[in-house]
């Protein structure tokens, strides 16, 4: 059973508001699994702690191969996944919605790739991921 997507600006607006509301109302899943430990990296981080990150970033490529040690990056990502669950702020939600509606308007011709609510949900997940990367509780414009 195939359902054709017929672009309608009013319906698109209502549908995008609905998807945004559903997405904003959901709580991030709490990790029920025990935190996995890396068996290879049980010891302390093995990197030069005497130099700050900004100093390491200023070094030439030949001087350093890893400005952010692998173990530190893994811990950062693990912390962000476990403790940071950003919500999309109203201003950012408006920007995302307007961008989605603009895409829908531009891609109404028959030969273009259809823009669906999956793209809207993807934009929202990308926005939340960026906020999580920055350890923010609210994704803003």
pLDDT score recorded for residue 35:
32
The answer to whether position 60 is within a domain reads no
The answer to whether position 42 is within a domain reads no
Kindly report each contact of residues 104-110 with a partner whose C-beta sits within 8 Å and lies 24 or more positions away, as own/partner. Answer: 104/7, 104/9, 104/12, 105/7, 105/9, 108/7
Q: Is the dihedral of CA 9, 107, 141, 131 positive or negative?
A: positive
* CA 135 – CA 92 distance, rounded (Å): 16
What would the pLDDT profile of 82-96 be if each residue is shown by its tens digit?
999 999 999 999 999
What would the pLDDT profile of 20-78 be if each residue is shown by its tens digit?
877 776 433 222 233 333 333 333 344 455 666 667 666 665 665 666 788 898 999 99
The answer to whether position 30 is within a domain reads no
pLDDT score recorded for residue 40:
36
Domain, as residue range, for 77 = 7-24+69-141
- Report the candidate in 86, 78, 77, 79 with the shortest Cα–Cα distance to residue 137: 86
The answer to whether position 48 is within a domain reads no
The answer to whether position 81 is within a domain reads yes
Which residues are paired to 87 by β-bridges?
138
- How would you classify the pairing of strands 87-88 and 138-139? parallel
The answer to whether position 64 is within a domain reads no
- Coil, strand or helix: which one is 138? strand
Question: Structural domain tally of the chain?
Answer: 1
The answer to whether position 113 is within a domain reads yes
Quote the percentage of the chain above a pLDDT of 70: 67
């Amino acid at each position: 059973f195939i359902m054709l997507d017929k672009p309608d600006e009013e319906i698109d607006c209502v549908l995008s508001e609905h998807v945004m509301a559903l997405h904003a109302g959901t709580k991030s899943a709490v990790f029920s699994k025990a935190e996995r430990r890396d068996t290879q990296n049980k010891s302390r981080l093995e990197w030069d702690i005497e130099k700050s990150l900004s100093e390491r970033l200023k070094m030439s490529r030949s001087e350093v191969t890893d400005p952010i040690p692998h173990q530190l990056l893994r811990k950062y990502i693990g912390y962000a996944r476990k403790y940071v669950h950003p919500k999309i702020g109203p201003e950012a939600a408006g920007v995302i919605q307007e961008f989605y509606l603009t895409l829908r308007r531009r891609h109404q011709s028959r030969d273009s790739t259809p823009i669906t609510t999956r793209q809207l949900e993807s934009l929202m997940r990308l926005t939340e991921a960026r906020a999580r990367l920055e350890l923010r509780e609210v994704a803003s414009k």
